[in-house]
Structure 1
């Protein structure tokens, strides 16, 4: 019984740390779906909720992408998967210096609503965020 309670407690702790949850399209606000359809006509998406935002995952022109919307349907950012070799040299140098021996699991290019460009590299279960020049900004849980 103690083992069962310990296992259950562990599951609750792990579940509490996960911020994104899959959503059925019917659970996505109409304003968000309308905005997605306007920005990405004819594309279907898989939806997740991240904190207060809605994330649409989809493929466009053969590329894995995602788009993040607030609850009012405002597009806040788009993310496109890129090859690790397409990351700026400064990003690769930062990771080599600060995460020696770590492997980059995946990389992406993020464009914020205002046009600001960021790069993201997933390393050791964390997303490392960089500016357009490859300068480190922050690390967040992947």
Structure 2
């Protein structure tokens, strides 16, 4: 009897985990209601969203008007930034020139990041990491992610 209860409980827990994974919940559990509400208020037309949690921040990945977008929120639902994918040729010309002049190679991905204060940063992903540029395309820094 005890074994069957344990087996049933185990199956229930696995089922809940599977359901959570299929419905965009993070590994740590449910996306906070404040975050979901903030997202729904700003993007009511978005029906399909994938949530991820990293370092206490919640990132919503979705498509809007044929653009791949991610919006990052604090755990209290305050939007910190929005990142919109770009074709590399749409980066500021100064950024494209910097990548070529410094022999960083091919730009794998590019994005426009709008911070909560309205400031704009451009990102160019290259083999060595992410190159960040200001709104005019002036180089700011290279960010290398550690595995």
Counterpart check, 1:134 vs 2:118:
no
Residues 27 and 140 of structure 1: is their aligned pair in 2 closer, same or farther, counting only changes over 3 Å? farther
Matching residue of 2:54:
50
Q: Distance in 2 between matches of 1:135 and 1:51?
A: 29
CA RMSD, Structure 1 to Structure 2 (Å): 1.7
> Which structure 1 residue ranges, 4+ long, deviate > 6 Å from structure 2?
none
Q: Is the 8 A contact 2:59 2:73 kept in 1?
A: yes
Cα deviation, residue 134, structure 1: 0.6
Matching residue of 2:25:
24
What are the Cα deviations for residues 92-114 of structure 1, in whole angstroms up to 9, with x where unaligned? 1111122x161100111111111
What are the Cα deviations for residues 46-95 of structure 1, in whole angstroms up to 9, with x where unaligned? 01112121110000011000001011100011011111110011101111
Secondary structure, counterpart of 1:27 in structure 2: coil
Q: Distance in 1 between matches of 2:104 and 2:72?
A: 32
Structure 1 regions of 5+ residues with no counterpart? 1-21
Provide TM-score, normalisation by structure 1: 0.78
Query: Which is greater in Rg?
Result: 2
Residues 55 and 125 of structure 1: is their aligned pair in 2 closer, same or farther, counting only changes over 3 Å? farther
Structure 2 regions of 5+ residues with no counterpart? 1-20
